[in-house]
Amino acid sequence: MAQPVLEFRDVVKRFGTVPAVDGVSFSIQPGEIFTLLGPSGCGKTTTLRLVAGLEEPDDGEILVNGTPLTAPRRGIFVAPDKRQMGMVFQSYAIWPHLTVFENVAFPLRVRGEPSSTLSRRVLQALETVGLAGLEGRGATELSGGQQQRVALARALVYAPAILLLDEPLSNLDAKLREQMRLEIRALQMKFKLTVLYVTHDQAEAMTLSDRMAVVHRGRFEQVGSPAEVYEQPATPFVAEFLGRTISFEGMIAKNHGGCWVDLGAGGARILLDGKKSGSFSGGEKVRLFTRPEDIEILPSAEVAANQVAAKIEQVAYLGDHIDYHVQAAGAFFVLSASKKQRFAVGADIRLKLDCERLTIRSV
């Protein structure tokens, strides 16, 4: 594997006694978009500020291209303006009293860029983000989306080693957000940028990231590709945070023929293969987790193995699909279905679970 562009080694940052970043280690490869996804207050912005040098860690080391930028135990701390970082802050932080040109020129001026090349680089950055021709405008005479592009141009203007983006799309409306998401991805691929991206929006993380970390209370719960994290959540927090989860309570039953979870309702039995059943013993109470999209709705009939009897409680017609509010084995949840399959309120149905994709835990 290539030398990582960014590496965290057991980094800790406390505010008072509260650890905002609590012993975090990870690395980002060249040309990768790595996303931190997590709820408000979990330490995402603090992690970015540590990379930029706007916060000093209490412990651990941060390296860029193999060189330590921050290592408190070794007395190393490189000042923010000596780091090759481009940052878009959570609230753009563009200067209202400056023109678009001067906003983007700022990082170059701070670094003493000669005026012979400064203008060309600023105009090139504005061109890259689709703002050519607007350089003379006051920064406040722009739409939210355009201001966001100015912030992006300013972060890109001096070819940073790492681009740090802190919820850069959170102030935009849904449609523009989707468009900018694609544009950022296209820019990143064109210029082979290495990006550390922060969001609390699951869809954004899933569509943008090469790899992502799910962050909870200053710790990385899981790191992996979007598909790995979604399909094999390592902890209940990850499963809950990434999309919807449906859970059933049941009891492990075993005989010489096999192992299954008894859901108690209407004799529903969920068969477990050797791999899943290994660590459980007969009579143990468990909780079974599945994604709504892994459940198939079938018309009423006698339940077979891996099926649960259910009832439709409510029907919501949403134009392109139908949401069924369903009760099954003591649980209430919503299943989306195509319009081809129609059931009325009060209808008895069966749900077929996908045993391959279940997660089971003791309770």
Which residues are at the interface with ligand ATP (CB under 6 A)?
15, 18, 20, 38, 40-46, 90, 200
Pairing between β-strand 162-166 and β-strand 195-199 as defined by DSSP bridges: parallel
CA 47 to chain centroid: 15
264 binds, among ligand ATP, Mg ion, none (CB under 5 to 8 A by kind): none
What span, in angstroms and rounded, lies between the C-alpha atoms of 145 and 171?
8
Q: What is the DSSP letter of 212?
A: E
3-state secondary structure of 5: coil
What span, in angstroms and rounded, lies between the C-alpha atoms of 154 and 152?
5
Pairing between β-strand 307-317 and β-strand 322-328 as defined by DSSP bridges: antiparallel
Q: Does 147 bind Mg ion (CB under 5 A)?
A: no
Question: 350: which residues sit within 8 A by CB, 6+ positions away?
Answer: 297, 298, 299, 300, 301, 303, 307, 308, 309, 310
Closest separation between CB of residue 32 and ligand ATP, Å? 21
Closest separation between CB of residue 339 and ligand ATP, Å? 37
Encoded one letter per residue, x for contact with Mg ion by CB under 5 A and - for no contact, window 16-55 reads -----------------------------x----------
Closest separation between CB of residue 204 and Mg ion, Å? 14
43 binds, among Mg ion, ligand ATP, none (CB under 5 to 8 A by kind): ligand ATP
312 binds, among ligand ATP, Mg ion, none (CB under 5 to 8 A by kind): none
Closest separation between CB of residue 330 and ligand ATP, Å? 35
304 binds, among ligand ATP, Mg ion, none (CB under 5 to 8 A by kind): none
Closest separation between CB of residue 275 and ligand ATP, Å? 36
What span, in angstroms and rounded, lies between the C-alpha atoms of 330 and 58?
48
Residues at the interface with Mg ion (CB under 5 A): 45
